[in-house]
Amino acid sequence: MVFAALADPTRRAILARLAEGEATVGQLAEPFDLSLPAISKHLKVLERAGLISRGRAAQWRPCRLEAGSLRPAADWVDHYREFWDVNLDRLDAHLQAQTVNRLTRPESR
């Protein structure tokens, strides 16, 4: 559910804004050419994924980032980052060896 929530660029932008601090729905909607109901739908997706929470302060419903919910996704990405680093290092070594072989091999005519 976290990755589905993160798949949308608007939701990622909302999370980036909330990383700076709490914000109301109106404040979150400001940079977007979207209606408040559309922003609210994005917020509901983020809330269901556990990425944000909404408080209550008088008539305001400030949203806040729940960064801890990103930990499982970050761990998953880190696992595959290690996998790709190892495999890309192997590919780099192979390509370098091919280049050296090509440069040191006498041309056959």
For 48-99, the pLDDT digits (tens) are 999 999 988 777 889 999 999 999 889 989 988 888 888 898 998 999 999 9
Classified as helix, coil or strand, 100 is helix
pLDDT interval class at 108 (50, 70, 90): low
CA–CA separation, 96 and 81 (whole Å) = 22
Confidence (pLDDT) at 5: 95
Helix H or strand E encompassing 101: helix 71-104
CA dihedral 72, 75, 80, 82 (to 10 degrees): 180
CA–CA separation, 30 and 51 (whole Å) = 20
Q: End-to-end CA distance of the chain: give it in Å, rounded.
A: 61
Report the topology of domain 2-66: Arc Repressor Mutant, subunit A (1.10.10)
Task: Give mean pLDDT, residues 25-43.
Answer: 95
Residue 30 in this model has a pLDDT that exceeds 70? yes
Place of tokens 């970050």: 74
CA–CA separation, 39 and 109 (whole Å) = 68
The token pair at 58 is 């008088």
Residue 109 in this model has a pLDDT that exceeds 60? no
